[in-house]
Structure 1
Amino acid sequence: MPADRLRVDVEGRALELSNLDKVLYPKAGFTKGEVIDYYTRIAPVLLPHLRDRALTRIRYPNGVDGGSFFEKNAPAATPDWVRTENLPAPGSSKGRETIDYVVADDLPTLVWLANLAALELHTPQWRIGEQPDLMVVDLDPGAPAALQQCCQVALLMRDRLADDGIDAYPKTSGKKGMQLSCPIAGTQSADEVSGYARRIAQELERAHPKLIVSKMAKNLRPGKVFIDWSQNNAAKTTVAPYSLRAQAAPSVSTPLTWDEVEAGGRGGRPAVRQFSSAEVLDRVEEYGDLLAPLLDGGPELPAAAA
């Protein structure tokens, strides 16, 4: 076997890992071996959020400073033990009607993907064969607005959703913004969920026009937080909790406590920021999975969503 390859056994599956010393985050000196190590250690809290969901990967074979590509279809050399599902592909850029998606239900699959430099893992709001069981909104700040303003909007949205009996759970995007995820009953279509999220975003925009924008146009965003309700479209995916992001440092889409968000909205301490992979592993030791309630389902959205 070449010196840059290593055979390992992961839960009874034989895997051949390669180029473990290859630096994928040059400014941080973070290697592919460290990427695999992170995904292995975070797997207990990550895998439940990937299970039964069609997985879109963003691969960086030459590191975050090199080229990247989205990958939905299972690659040609996919091991026969990796779960794949042939599913409709709404919005496919290649005009495909269906795609053989990879489903990451177990640690061997996660390690195999990490070895392919699949740094970012993105999932839809629905499990395979079901209606959406999550409502997700992306909070995208337009400079000079930043995470402090995202925290302020997150709190406004949390309180408004609570009026409808909807619980919201915050996380950083791992880039510049935040996301809120809400467990829902899984009985309504993506169009209904998206319609409800849009209505709430518009309502908050009317109440806080200097802080919030709900329209897609980028020229409206400077100094405001865009509530992207369209994340609930059936063709869209959102970065999974605990996924790495392709930034200069190995940042992670990180679950937050509401106490942290409240402090972040005031500009106080502890400040909400983008956390590194090492920090996230420490946070899981301290908090466990702050997004575990997303796995338990939730209520139906109000009828006005229809």
Structure 2
Amino acid sequence: MEGTVVRVGERRVTLTNLGKVLYPEVGFTKAEVIDYYTRIAPVLLPHLAGRPLTVRRFPDGVGGRSFFVKNVPSHAPEWVRTVRIGTPGSSRGAEFADFVVVEELATLVWLANLAALELHVPQWVVGARGARRCPDLVVFDLDPGAPATVVECCRVAERLRGVLVGDGLSPVVKTSGAKGLQVYAPVRVSSPERTAEYAKAVARRLSAESPGEVVWSMARARRTGRVLIDWSQNNPAKTTVAPYSLRARAVPSVSTPVTWDEVRGCRSPAELVFVADEVRARVGRDGEVFAVGNPSRLPG
């Protein structure tokens, strides 16, 4: 396939079909996707480093077919780092997958050229030799059940922050880029299951305190008008959309780090919707607001 060869650092990357529109509603092209990921890389790459990546590709744009990809494509450049991870219970019956690990801009540009719009990572990293380590993050995915919106998620997030700070953690928050919010905190644990156990206990506690506003069970029938605190994202086999990743919505919305002041002040869903250009401007103005601090040991 013919394309344009560009130099990215010490690598050469071939870019193709740069004029293809991937977000038809606003005419956002593949070239603009690549430009966004290139410009946002200084704050994005630290959140991808060491984490086996699952991507969601949209070769025909967000209105077309899509598919999640774990295994590195056979045509990947030889300089792309990969790591083999066991995948027990895979829907395809595979015992393992060879995941891409993004640790340089060239890999990110190469993925963007494949229309890998969404970047999803686990809450753990691999070591230099590819060994899986225990989780270093705990995540709470706040998902509103209509007619609840991100505004209700903000109120729950404030209460969740109080619990986490009371337990000695240092939470940060971002939009999902879709409907809700995601609250993270850096942690130290001695077993892969510990973060899920802790997150489930916190979710059940907040649900018991406010059953009309919060639910911890995955049963969809119970979620109407409430905020689900999805603790299950801490399962080591699961991934969550990375900070600064694009989302496959009608517009190029981004999973955007926000401040707790913005969460506290939110009164309309539109206040916490950000597209690619806005996120670049926010980072240029405010810098990185999702910098996780030193990890804390979970209580109990």
- Shorter-chain TM-score range: over 0.9
| Inter-partner Cα distance in structure 2 for 1:256 and 1:188 | 30
Separation in 1 of the partners of 2:40 and 2:87?
A: 29
Report the AA paired with residue 104 of structure 1. V
Contact 1:10 1:108 in 2 (8 A): yes
Matched, 1:107 2:110: no
Q: 2:159 aligns with which of 136, 156, 178?
A: 156
1:194 aligned partner: 196
Q: Deviations over 1:151-185 (max 9, x none)?
A: 00000000011111112111000001110011102
- Find the residue that maps to 2:201 and give its secondary structure: helix
Asked whether the 8 Å contact 1:188–1:300 carries over to 2, the reply is no
Aligned twin of 2:129: none
- 1:179 corresponds, among 167, 182, 202, to 182
Could you tell me which amino acid in structure 1 is paired with residue 193 of structure 2? D
The gaps in structure 2 that reach 5 residues or longer are 127-131
SS state at 2:138 partner: strand
Q: 1:83 aligns with which of 53, 78, 81?
A: 81
Matched to 2:144, the amino acid is P
SS in 2 for 1:109: helix
Residue 301 of structure 1 aligns with which residue?
298
Query: Which residue type is aligned with residue 279 of structure 1?
Result: E
**Number of aligned pairs?**
295
Deviation of 1:271 (Å): 6.2
Over the residues paired in the alignment, what is the CA RMSD in angstroms?
1.3
Residue 12 (structure 1) shift = 1.5
Q: 1: distance between equivalents of 2:221 and 2:88? A: 28
- Could you tell me how far apart the structure 2 residues matched to 1:142 and 1:91 are? 29
Residue in structure 1 matched with residue 40 of structure 2 by the alignment:
42
How big is the shift at 1:272? 3.5
Residue 146 (structure 1) aligns with: 149
C-alpha separation between the residues in 2 aligned to 1:57 and 1:93? 16
The structural deviation recorded for 1:55 is 0.2
* One of 171, 174, 185 as aligned partner of 1:168: 171
In structure 2, distance between residues paired with 1:64 and 1:184: 35
* 2-structure distance, mates of 1:95, 1:206: 39
How far apart, CA to CA, are the structure 2 residues paired with 1:251 and 1:137? Answer: 20
SS in 1 for 2:177: coil
| Counterpart for residue 13 of structure 2 | 15
TM-score w.r.t. the length of structure 2 is 0.96
Is residue 45–residue 289 contact of structure 1 (8 Å, CA) maintained in 2? yes
- Report the Cα offset of residue 108 of structure 1: 0.3
Preserved contact between residue 148 and residue 272 of structure 1 (Cα < 8 Å): no
Deviation at 1:90, TM superposition (A): 3.7
Q: Deviations over 1:116-161 (max 9, x none)?
A: 0000000000001210000011000000000110000000000011
Q: CA deviation at 1:81?
A: 0.3
Describe the superposition over 1:29-74 as per-residue Cα deviations: whole angstroms up to 9, x where unpaired: 0000000000000000000000000000000000000000000000
For 1:198, give the aligned amino acid: K
Paired residue secondary structure (1:44): helix
Aligned to 1:273: 272
Is 1:65 the counterpart of 2:63? The answer is yes
The CA distance in 2 between the partners of 1:97 and 1:125, in whole Å, is: 21
- Corresponding residue of 1:206: 208
The counterpart of 1:225, out of the listed 221, 224, 227, is 227
TM-score where L is the length of structure 1: 0.94
Q: How many angstroms does 1:273 deviate by?
A: 1.8
Amino acid at match of 1:78: A
Contact 1:191 / 1:233 at 8 angstroms: preserved in 2? yes
User: Quick one: which of 243, 255, 258 aligns to 1:256?
Assistant: 258
In structure 1, the residue corresponding to 2:107 is in which secondary structure? Answer: helix
Could you tell me how far apart the structure 2 residues matched to 1:193 and 1:12 are? Answer: 39
Which residue type is aligned with residue 207 of structure 2? Answer: E
> Contact between 1:201 and 1:214, CA under 8 Å: does it hold in 2?
yes
